[in-house]
Structure 1
Amino acid sequence: MKMFNVASRRRAALLVLITGTLSACQPGPVTDVGQIQITKVASNTLIEASAYEIEQQFTGNIRSGNTTAIGFELAGKINQLAVDSGNSVKQGQLLAQLDTSLLLAEKQELEASLAQNSADLDLAKSTLNRSLELKKQGYTSEQTLDELKGQLNSLKAARQRLRASIAANQLRIEKSTLIAPFDGVIAKRNNNLGEVVALGSPLFTLIQLNNPQAIIGVPVNIAQALNDGQKLPLRVNDTNYSATVAGIGAEVNPVTRTVPVRFTLPTDAPVINGELAYLNYGKRIEQSGYWIPLSSLTDGLRGLWNIYVLVEEEKGQYRIERRDIEILYTRGEQAYITGAVRNNEMYVTHGLHKLVVGEVVTLNTDVASR
């Protein structure tokens, strides 16, 4: 019984070994190997252009045609302030006035002196006339007549001097009243009521209305290309205006190395002194090249840039070639290039980091070229 069990175990082990060997000899499942996947790329065609437009932007400030610091021509105490900062004024409107008490007293004194001079002058004329009558009778000497004539002439000169003093006094009284030289807005008031102001001290800053201008510095070569009356686009506070060149400076700013150009804006332009103004200037450069998206550029050697050009191998398949190019100008997401490329060649527009030179690709018609 023991021997039978040993024999049974040996037959079972042999059966397992044979079964495993036969299973190993059977062919495995067949793997379905498909075609090799070829990368699809987005592409576009190079279209040659004969020139390109350079767009440059320069910054300046808005300034009214007249921004004036106005004040009295005389020193004195402020007796009246008729306006304040932020007020709109009309030409000829009263702005402020000085205390004229001393000037009025001086005027009365001068008028009294003139009245006395007139009385002395009348007396001198009468005395001279009587002396001339007495001279005919031989009662008056020539010396006396000469003295009377001299006195009369002196009084006449004094009268002219007094009249000139009265006119000067009246002019000082008039200049003690400050009036607006033009329509505008009071931007700033520098003194208070009752203060004593010095000769020529500015009391107000007056900004003229309806005469907005912009002062913008530009390079010398651009300033030389501009002409008086030329229209150019100007932007202030996100609003575009058609500005007119009103004057071109004749001196280069030693700090910015630019020439100041003065532009006039429409009279109804709602701009404020000191606002930033932006000049957009376009210039045409005559040089052939190609516009391509920045996404189609990749770094090259020796400071150059490259693009991937598609060279057709067979129908529907293209081989990638690297071409050296030079960037002449960029604008937004576009670059204007020249180099080892030809008109109507196809190139890869984006996704260059996934590709290698010499790789065979196909065109991805589902992706719009840019």
Structure 2
Amino acid sequence: MSSQSDERRLATRLLGGTARNAFTLAVVGVSVAVTVFGAQALSQRAAAAPTPVGAPPIPVATRALVVEDGYTVSRSFVGQVEPARSVALSFELPGKVDVVEVEEGETVRQGDVVARQDTRLIEADIARLTASRSALQARMEFASRTLDRNSELNTRGFASSERLDSAIASRDELAARIAEVDAALLEAEIRRAKATLTAPMDGRVTVRRVDGGESLSTGQPVLTVVSTGAPVVRVGLPLDLIDQLAADATITIGGRDHAARLQTVRPDIDPVTRTRTALFTLVDADEAVFGQTARLMLSQRVEAAGSWVPLRSLKENAGGIWTILTLGADGRVRLAAVEVLHADGDRVFVRGSFPEGTLAIDEGPQRVAPGQAVRPIGDS
């Protein structure tokens, strides 16, 4: 009986395991069927949906890069307007100033009297010397007549040779004394002429140092006269630019450009600024004010291969590297590293590995990224 019972329990366990396995297989089969059906449904729905259209390439403004062999740098140097000639007038001889004929700022012509010294002592000396000469001249006439008589008497044997020689000596002495007085008169006339101060050139009075009545020593300045024609501009220039100076230049004074001509370059170097001084004559700036600031504009050619690009097209990347965006043959944006050589307002001169004619994105480089497809809208 126990053996039969064990068989029945074993059969029951076998039937239960088989039923469970059958149920599990059924569940798995249902799951697989549902999964396959769902995948087919999704595939059919995806196939039935319309294919999306890609966004069109955005338009960008471009310009063709032109490779040039160099660029020109404009440099400005500050100078000062000066008169072509400036003369401090003074009397050669000491004396008292009688009158100054001109005022500061007054225009004078060459030879105009500008100041006079008191000449009363000179006039008195001339009068004394003139009187002395008259007296000597009278004695000279008497001595000449005496010599003539003694010469005649000596010829006839009525006068000795000693007497004749004495008459000749008296005449010669008087002639020498007259010559001495003439020299003194000439000196007095020169002193009287030098007591009148005249303008050495056409110009204007800038400084008046005396008003009249002062007693001045030799060479003490009375006033200053400057030439008003063709002013000069004095400019200090770096040593490396001296050899590049042209005969003609442009100088700006008070916002106006004036033509100028190189007059000379001083051979020495300024010990403070370490520059050499160049003097330019202004051709058409007679109205320039002396002491006014002037600016000399010079152009310097720098030989270096590169291209001009707008400043707005530059981008600074990591490490301080400057780049521009270019357009490749496939219509996609490319990144090109460049070296900035010179900046001039809103454009820069750059050097890079791009060939001649490369299209560079001109405006709005921040709107696109390398590798993006774009549409150029023209070579600006």
How would you bin the TM-score normalised by the shorter chain?
0.7 to 0.9
Work out whether 1:162 is the aligned partner of 2:176: no
Distance 1:300 1:125, change over 3 A: farther
Work out the CA distance in 1 between the residues paired with 2:148 and 2:321. 111
TM-align CA RMSD: 3.3
Deviates more, 1:233-242 or 1:126-135: 126-135
User: 1:122-146: per-residue Cα shift (whole Å, max 9, x none)?
Assistant: 2222332333344345554433333
Work out whether 1:253 is the aligned partner of 2:292: no
* TM-score when normalising by structure 2: 0.74
| Structure 1 residue 269, shift from structure 2 partner | 3.3
Of 335, 340, 345 in structure 1, the residue corresponding to residue 348 of structure 2 is 335
* Helix, strand or coil at the partner of 2:77: strand
Unaligned runs of 5+ in 2: 1-52
- Which residue matches 1:307? 323
Work out whether 1:345 is the aligned partner of 2:335: no
- Which residue matches 2:335? 321
| Structure 1 residue 361, shift from structure 2 partner | 7.2
Work out the CA distance in 1 between the residues paired with 2:363 and 2:269. 45
Task: Supply the AA of the counterpart residue of 2:299.
Answer: G
Task: Supply the AA of the counterpart residue of 1:339.
Answer: G
| Structure 1 residue 78, shift from structure 2 partner | 1.1
| Structure 1 residue 359, shift from structure 2 partner | 6.9
Of 289, 292, 295 in structure 1, the residue corresponding to residue 309 of structure 2 is 292
Greater helix percent: which structure? 2
Work out the CA distance in 2 between the residues paired with 1:98 and 1:361. 94
Task: Supply the AA of the counterpart residue of 2:309.
Answer: I
| Structure 1 residue 363, shift from structure 2 partner | 6.7
Distance 1:292 1:96, change over 3 A: same
- Which residue matches 1:197? 216
- Within a 5 Å distance, the mapping from 1:60-79 to structure 2 comes to 60-79=79-98
Q: Is the 8 A contact 1:56 1:281 kept in 2?
A: yes
| Structure 1 residue 349, shift from structure 2 partner | 5.1
User: 1:45-104: per-residue Cα shift (whole Å, max 9, x none)?
Assistant: 432223211212222221222222122222211111111101112222221111101110
| Structure 1 residue 238, shift from structure 2 partner | 0.6
Distance 1:39 1:199, change over 3 A: farther
* Helix, strand or coil at the partner of 1:291: strand
Work out the CA distance in 2 between the residues paired with 1:75 and 1:301. 80
| Structure 1 residue 239, shift from structure 2 partner | 0.8
Q: Is the 8 A contact 1:120 1:155 kept in 2?
A: yes
Distance 1:191 1:270, change over 3 A: same
* Helix, strand or coil at the partner of 2:103: coil
Work out the CA distance in 2 between the residues paired with 1:312 and 1:339. 15
Of 133, 140, 145 in structure 2, the residue corresponding to residue 114 of structure 1 is 133
* Helix, strand or coil at the partner of 1:270: coil
Question: Which is higher, the Rg of structure 1 or of structure 2?
Answer: 2
- Which residue matches 1:262? 279
Work out the CA distance in 1 between the residues paired with 2:272 and 2:321. 35
* Helix, strand or coil at the partner of 1:241: strand
Work out the CA distance in 1 between the residues paired with 2:304 and 2:216. 65
| Structure 1 residue 322, shift from structure 2 partner | 5.1
- Which residue matches 1:20? none
- Which residue matches 1:27? none
Q: Is the 8 A contact 1:296 1:308 kept in 2?
A: yes
User: 1:12-52: per-residue Cα shift (whole Å, max 9, x none)?
Assistant: xxxxxxxxxxxxxxxxxxxxxx9999999775443222321
Deviates more, 1:243-252 or 1:270-279: 243-252
Task: Supply the AA of the counterpart residue of 1:327.
Answer: V
Of 291, 305, 319 in structure 2, the residue corresponding to residue 274 of structure 1 is 291
Of 103, 107, 119 in structure 2, the residue corresponding to residue 100 of structure 1 is 119
Work out the CA distance in 2 between the residues paired with 1:252 and 1:305. 40
User: 1:304-333: per-residue Cα shift (whole Å, max 9, x none)?
Assistant: 641132455965xx445251x322222222
Task: Supply the AA of the counterpart residue of 2:187.
Answer: A
| Structure 1 residue 110, shift from structure 2 partner | 0.9
Q: Is the 8 A contact 1:309 1:322 kept in 2?
A: yes
**Number of residue pairs matched?**
329
* Helix, strand or coil at the partner of 2:304: coil
Work out the CA distance in 1 between the residues paired with 2:373 and 2:126. 103
| Structure 1 residue 177, shift from structure 2 partner | 1.0
Work out the CA distance in 1 between the residues paired with 2:95 and 2:244. 51
Deviates more, 1:134-143 or 1:112-121: 134-143
Work out whether 1:82 is the aligned partner of 2:101: yes
Deviates more, 1:256-265 or 1:202-211: 256-265
* TM-score when normalising by structure 1: 0.76
Work out the CA distance in 1 between the residues paired with 2:329 and 2:149. 135
Task: Supply the AA of the counterpart residue of 2:119.
Answer: T
